Structure 1
Amino acid sequence: MQIDILYEDDRWEAAGLGPLAERAAEATLLHLGLAPDDWEVSLLACDDARIAVLNADFRDKPTPTNVLSWPSEERAPEDPGAVPERPEPGLDPELGDIAIAYDTCAREATAAGKPMADHVTHLIVHALLHLLGYDHVRDQDATLMEATEVAILGKLGLPDPY
């Protein structure tokens, strides 16, 4: 998996975002039966101020959030609870873009009493699933997405975040 990381906040480098993101992405793709070497993702490692602007621009919510994702193409299924179609390897390996905010992630990890690395790993898995057509707006989709996250995190030796 090629992950192109743009570090706007140096705290992410100190937190080891690169290796965490690679491990989370590889586990996610392998779990879904996709060859990691076939895919690329762009990752913006930013702070709360930057993600608040992105959240306002793209979701009309002018507040910070932990992670945002923009799939390169729409992959969500029409039927609630259906598994999204897997992307086909080929000419366009780009799955999409992810932005992750250090401040919110650190705050959430502290509030939940869990290691920052575990929380960040979960959020990368979560965001990558969004790029692959998973969502949590409809109840049936949320059930599928959360079960998929729990299974992937379990393979990484991480506890159920829900």
Structure 2
Amino acid sequence: MSGSLPEGFQIDLSIEAVGWSDETRLEKIVTRAVAAAFAATDLEVQRGSEVSLLFTDDDAIRKLNMEWREKDKPTNVLSFPGSDPQDDVYGPLLGDLVFAFETITREAEELGIEFDDHLSHLTVHGLLHLFDYDHQENDEAELMESLEKTILATIGIDDPYADRPLVAEGS
């Protein structure tokens, strides 16, 4: 079960760093992950909503992480929510997700998983943040991780948290 995108939903991709796959391949990976998230949950968006994805590098994401989160280090994905929801329906500007190539590559290697699977996981993770899911507290982290595992399982990706401790800290 992978599902499809909500009617009129748009994914806007921008690549601004070297190392990333071509846009067609990235679009396939993230569209599959986003569609699975909508199919496996009750996330609701206005018709014609959009999410923007920026594929960048560690230096650029480190600067954003410092500016917005006061953390002077690169991270794998940052989420920037867009429009405020109306009665739990989000959009039309869902928000922005920013991905760092070097960090994602390093993490995938360290975890012994495929790059595409890790990027899919981070896409789902970032998307859930745009819908106000968080992992600052253990109960929030448990809920968010449970949703991630459920969504990823629908597209054949193993539990990304298996054999790893619960992470209740901002990503």
Asked if these proteins are the same fold (TM beyond 0.5), I'd say yes
Q: Of residues 12, 24, 27 in structure 1, which corresponds to 2:20?
A: 12
TM-score (norm 1): 0.85
SS of equivalent to 1:12: coil
Instruction: Show the counterpart of 1:123.
Output: 122
Alignment gaps of 5+ in structure 2: 1-8, 162-171
Structure 2 Cα separation of the partners of residues 109 and 119 of structure 1? 6
Instruction: Show the counterpart of 2:58.
Output: 48
SS of equivalent to 2:21: helix
Residue identity matched to 1:23: R
CA deviation digits over 1:62-100, x for unaligned, max 9? Answer: 11000000111466xxxxxxxxx7325xxx421111100
Instruction: Show the counterpart of 2:74.
Output: 64
Greater shift, 23-32 or 8-17, is seen at 8-17
Q: Which runs of 4+ in 1 moved over 6 A?
A: none
Residue identity matched to 1:103: E
TM-score (norm 2): 0.81
In the TM superposition, 1:82-101 aligns within 5 A as 86-88=88-90, 92-101=91-100
Structure 2 Cα separation of the partners of residues 139 and 159 of structure 1? 22
Structure 1 Cα separation of the partners of residues 18 and 159 of structure 2? 29
Name which structure has the greater RCO, CA cutoff 8 Å, separation 6+: 1
Structure 2 Cα separation of the partners of residues 50 and 74 of structure 1? 26
Q: Which has the higher helix share?
A: 1
> Does the 8 Å CA contact 2:83/2:93 hold for their aligned counterparts?
no
Residue identity matched to 1:147: S
SS of equivalent to 2:99: strand
Structure 2 Cα separation of the partners of residues 135 and 115 of structure 1? 25
